[in-house]
Amino acid sequence: MSNETELNQAGFDAIAHAMGQLYPGQKGFYYGTVIPAFLGGNDPLDGVEVWKSERGIPHWHYVTYGFTELYQKESDDPKESGYGFELTFRLKREGEEEPPVWPVNLLQNLARYVFSSGNVFGPGHHMNANGPIALESDTQLTALAFRTDPELGELDTPNGHMIFLQAVGITHDEMEALMCWNGEKFLRAMEEKIPLCIADLARGSLMESPSFRSLWQQGVEKDGSSTGFLYMDEIGAKLSAGTVTLRFGAGHIQTLLNMLQARVGKGRDLYLQGEDASVFFQPGEFAAAMENDTLVLRLPSQALDELRAILRSHAGVYPLSSVPITLELVPTEITDARGNTIRVIE
């Protein structure tokens, strides 16, 4: 192999060397892309390598090749390689001789999102998968959270710095709980229950554990939320003659309750984005104004407490007594993949 060829795959070799150090004497399973994206293919990653780990509990350890600059340096940033990370994923082994392929597809789909949107992941981030992370399964793991892989950490390559970012499978209510606290702290607490945050498709939600829920509540009360943005599809906001009208779908109330307390109740802002409206909550003396189609609403503590108390009600129309705000709670319809209503939350 020539020196030029070695140089051209220096980023690739740096990742391979890190994996070889973590798993000495083992040969990983490499799932390469036939036609990578830079040659016109549909798969953004060059490949995914999988290793057999006995740490924590026996599991498969997946690592991507392609978010960073694997070959020659292309970006203008000498300090960071590509997007600055490669993804890892850990899946509980079930006695298979070879690793399941579905996590490879999951990681390629995450790469498609990053490459097409330009949005990158980082420690403490989360993402709703809008369905099972393993397609055609009935797992409760329907979202992902991200943290620095505890065994691989960070790496300096000839093409710049990078981190190994572990994608962790979580349930929907775990995702909502994570949003109301701090993503990295939530995952550290999770690791006390689940070694290395290894994905187990058969597990239930940690929020059903009284000890874990208590730990989470203590964290929220102490730290508040590090998430300042919340998307809710059912939001309405009007300001007329100094009076504010807010409309929320009943299906999002518990998350909104937690986020209001964890953000505004801790002296921080909270931005709510819906399909047709957006509201920017701020702590402070009452004020309301429309700015660039967003309702900016400042709430004193008394009004916040009253708003949160009313949010616990059923669908209906409720005026607040402490400030000129009227709250409308409307039923939320839960539909299946075909659009059929399977449940109504009031």
Domain containing residue 328: CATH number: 3.30.1360.230
| pLDDT above 90 for 159 | yes
Q: State the total domains in the chain.
A: 2
Phi, psi of 36 (to 5 degrees): -65, 165
In a shared domain, residues 13 and 95? yes
What is the C-alpha to C-alpha distance for residues 276 and 284, in angstroms, rounded to an integer?
Answer: 26
pLDDT of the residue at 1: 40
Structural domain includes residue 342: no
Cβ atoms of 224 and 263 closer than 8 Å: yes
Q: What does the mean pLDDT of the chain come to?
A: 91
In a shared domain, residues 91 and 150? yes
User: What confidence category does residue 193 fall into, taking pLDDT thresholds of 50, 70 and 90?
Assistant: very high
261-269 mean pLDDT: 95
In a shared domain, residues 45 and 66? yes
40-67 mean pLDDT: 93
Longest pairwise C-alpha distance within the chain: 78
In a shared domain, residues 286 and 177? no
What is the C-alpha to C-alpha distance for residues 46 and 161, in angstroms, rounded to an integer?
Answer: 19
What is the C-alpha to C-alpha distance for residues 92 and 118, in angstroms, rounded to an integer?
Answer: 31
What is the C-alpha to C-alpha distance for residues 64 and 49, in angstroms, rounded to an integer?
Answer: 6
CA Rg value for the chain: 23
In a shared domain, residues 208 and 249? no
Structural domain includes residue 257: yes
In a shared domain, residues 121 and 217? yes
Spatial CA neighbour of 55 closest among 221, 208, 198: 198
In a shared domain, residues 9 and 23? yes
For residue 159, give the amino acid letter: N
85-99 mean pLDDT: 96
Phi-psi region of 10 (alpha: psi -120 to 50; beta: other; left: phi over 0): alpha
Structural domain includes residue 262: yes
What is the C-alpha to C-alpha distance for residues 104 and 89, in angstroms, rounded to an integer?
Answer: 9
User: What confidence category does residue 92 fall into, taking pLDDT thresholds of 50, 70 and 90?
Assistant: very high
What is the C-alpha to C-alpha distance for residues 346 and 333, in angstroms, rounded to an integer?
Answer: 9
pLDDT of the residue at 340: 61
In a shared domain, residues 208 and 242? no
In a shared domain, residues 89 and 149? yes
What is the C-alpha to C-alpha distance for residues 86 and 62, in angstroms, rounded to an integer?
Answer: 10
In a shared domain, residues 174 and 212? yes
Structural domain includes residue 344: no
Structural domain includes residue 341: no
And the tokens for 115?
């490459």
Within 13 Å of residue 143, how many CA atoms lie on the same side as its CB? 18
Q: What is each CA distance from 58 to 26, 44, 52, 190, in whole angstroms? A: 15, 29, 8, 18
Structural domain includes residue 311: yes
Characterize the bridge pairing of strands 278-283 and 294-299.
Answer: parallel
What is the C-alpha to C-alpha distance for residues 24 and 55, in angstroms, rounded to an integer?
Answer: 14
Where does a domain end: 223, 245, 264?
223
Residue percentage of the chain with pLDDT more than 90: 79
Structural domain includes residue 125: yes
CA 254, 257, 261, 267 torsion-angle sign:
positive
Cβ neighbours, 10 Å, residue 50: 22
pLDDT of the residue at 339: 60
264 burial level (CB within 10 Å; 0-12, 13-18, 19+): buried
Structural domain includes residue 15: yes
Q: What DSSP element (H or E) covers 235?
A: strand 235-240
What is the C-alpha to C-alpha distance for residues 282 and 267, in angstroms, rounded to an integer?
Answer: 8
Cβ atoms of 56 and 30 closer than 8 Å: no
In a shared domain, residues 305 and 279? yes
pLDDT of the residue at 164: 98
Query: What pTM, to 2 d.p., does this model score?
Result: 0.84
Give the residue numbers spanning the domain of 104: 3-223
Q: Which residue has the tokens 């700015």?
A: 291
In a shared domain, residues 195 and 124? yes
Instruction: State the alpha helices, DSSP H only, in 23-101.
Output: none
Where does a domain end: 195, 223, 251?
223
Considering only residues 230 and 15, tell me which one the structure prediction assigns the higher pLDDT. 15
Where does a domain end: 223, 240, 273?
223
